[in-house]
Amino acid sequence: MVFYYLLEDSFFLSLSLSLREFSINICPSKYIVKRISLDISQVELVHSILKMNILNICQCMHEKIQRKKDIQRTITTEQEISAADSLLALLEDLSISDSFEIESEDTLDTSDVENPDSDSDIETEDQEYEETRDNRQFSLEYMEKVVNFARPNISFTTVQHAYPRVTHRMQLKRFREYVASNGNQRQKLKRIANIVFERFRHAREKNLPVHDVDIQRWALHEAKKEDMCEFTASHHWLFNFKKRYSICSRKVTKIVSRRETVDKSSIKRTADEFVNKVSKCISKYRLDAVLNADQSSFNYEIASNRTLSYVGEKAVYVSVNSINATTHSYTVMPIITAAGQLLNPVFVCLQEPIGRFPVTKNVFSPSNVMLTCSESGKLNKSLIEYWIQEVLDNVTTTRFLLLVDQWSSQTDVSVYERKLTKGQSCNLFVIPRKTTSTIQPCDTYFFRQWKELAKRIYHRVAIDELDVDLRSRDSIIRLQSLVHNQLISTIFIPMISYAWSVCGYIPKQYPTFSNVIEVCFSFETSRCSYSNCDESAFICCSHCRKTLCFTHFFIMYHFH
């Protein structure tokens, strides 16, 4: 049996009585929140126990302390003297106190208070935090098992033997409350987050657009089911939710039909089957004889789609030399190998009004560019035959494996057999429709790096207002020649090899690689490496590793 004896307005003395001994503890009065009535014999018993001799208490304490081997004698400090004075004053209050109240130890939970007042109405914050932290360790299923086991005729000791993690009676009451409300607040919030994430995942699997307001609306709907009227799905909750599940706002890069969304699983299955089929064949070839050729369009003028500007600005404008140039394009068709090589030359098809270059003007013709043109700037069947004869025939010698996409003009194997002049054996694989974004090496990573270089050149001309017309024929040829020349460096072999391994055609060949930004646009010095040049650095050459200004790189045509 446990009794509590009131020492002062703010402290109780607890007495734990048994047949052989009793123990004394002191605690703040606000922890004791429920009163009971005892008969006069119990009151007299407690009062007689409290009439104790201070000298006897101190003597017992001195003897017990002397028996402790880990306590050594030291010089007495002022803090120790002050602590001794406080203990003595407390013992004196204990021996002379005449007023007392008897309290029960049924619970420390404030929900049991029958007559709450301002002095003893709630638990301390520290105790409440400890209880909440302890209860977080239990799942709802565990609490249900404990509650079902702890029937009215079962003692708390029996419950502890069956469930050792339950350490005090207060937990049983909390467990009953949580089970009655289908979990505590933390568990309800977790269920809400899980259900909202499942709805988000389902929407994105169907390629449906999702915004912050949708997340908050779903969360409020689930909170209503959980009877959490105080839950508001605040911006702070939304921020934590998106951080936990790695969700952020992304720019839409491609619009697809609903039918294509429904067929996503079948498209993935087709892609996996194709990759497995090609991988088995690749093992029969040298990696430098496994090729991927693909076309990519480049606008005649590339404008940045992002810029720094003023906070709160409603309309953000970017100027270009010609709106028409931002919608008209030409075609670039490189070849890369599974060994990480970019082959030379690159095939470039420009747009000419009459479908051929003017005979009265000299066209800039670098060694690493095979140039052609059409009225649209796009390739056609005759130009593919020209590419096979002038490019593919020169970069292959014996047997090779070639990956191309579904464009009909390049999928006829008989054209390759007819145009290849060295008796090469071409094993042609056509990548299935709608899978090129994930299993075509040029599309998965390589073209992104190529266009990064081109964008940097366009941006420097625009921001510095240089007198360079990048829409002109010679400037375009110069730009593509320099980009190709930078990417053909051996420093980019691991990067190009990665484009093949990320598709699944070959195992990873290199542990790490450096991309275009890391190689060409990450440099310590801010000046051009050429002597007597005070211009700021624009690029670090991937071959010689010199930092070059725009003039020495583009205008002076820095070519290796």
Q: Do 330 and 298 form a contact (C-beta atoms < 8 A)? A: yes
Predicted confidence (pLDDT) at residue 323 exceeds the cutoff of 80: yes
200 and 98, same structural domain?
Answer: no
502 and 481, same structural domain?
Answer: yes
Q: What are phi and psi of 88, to 5 degrees?
A: -65, -45
Residue 96: the pLDDT is: 62
Residue 115 lies in a domain: no
160 and 33, same structural domain?
Answer: no
Residue 532 lies in a domain: no
Lowest mean pLDDT among 36-50, 104-118, 392-406: 104-118
The two structure tokens encoding residue 295: 């076309």
157 and 63, same structural domain?
Answer: no
Q: What CATH number is attached to the domain comprising 438?
A: 3.30.420
Residue 438 lies in a domain: yes
Q: Cβ contacts of residue 313 below 8 Å, gap of 6+? A: none
Residue 45 lies in a domain: yes
Give 212-221's long-range contacts (Cβ < 8 A, gap of 24+): 212/238, 215/241, 215/242, 219/192, 219/193
Residue 555 lies in a domain: no
Q: Which of 164, 180, 196 is the last residue of a domain?
A: 180
420 and 298, same structural domain?
Answer: yes
354 and 329, same structural domain?
Answer: yes
299 and 448, same structural domain?
Answer: yes
Predicted confidence (pLDDT) at residue 272 exceeds the cutoff of 90: yes
Residues 218 and 202: their CA atoms lie apart, in Å, by: 13
pTM value > 0.75: no
Residue 15 lies in a domain: yes
Task: Tell me which H or E stretch contains 326.
Answer: none
The two structure tokens encoding residue 544: 């010689």
496 and 357, same structural domain?
Answer: yes
pLDDT tens-place string over residues 134-182: 455 677 677 777 777 777 777 777 777 787 777 777 777 677 766 666 6
Q: Determine the straight-line distance between the first and last CA of the chain, rounded to whole angstroms.
A: 94
Predicted confidence (pLDDT) at residue 36 exceeds the cutoff of 60: no
Q: What CATH number is attached to the domain comprising 205?
A: 1.10.10.60
Burial class (CB in 10 A: 0-12, 13-18, 19+), 250: exposed
189 and 151, same structural domain?
Answer: no
477 and 368, same structural domain?
Answer: yes
Residue 254 lies in a domain: no
Residues 401 and 383: their CA atoms lie apart, in Å, by: 21
Total of domains in the chain? 4
Tell me the residue range of the domain where 208 lies.
185-244
Which of 182-186, 263-267, 530-534 is most confident?
Answer: 530-534
275 and 191, same structural domain?
Answer: no
pLDDT tens-place string over residues 522-542: 888 888 999 889 899 999 999
417 and 274, same structural domain?
Answer: yes
Residue 33 lies in a domain: yes
Residues 106 and 112: their CA atoms lie apart, in Å, by: 9
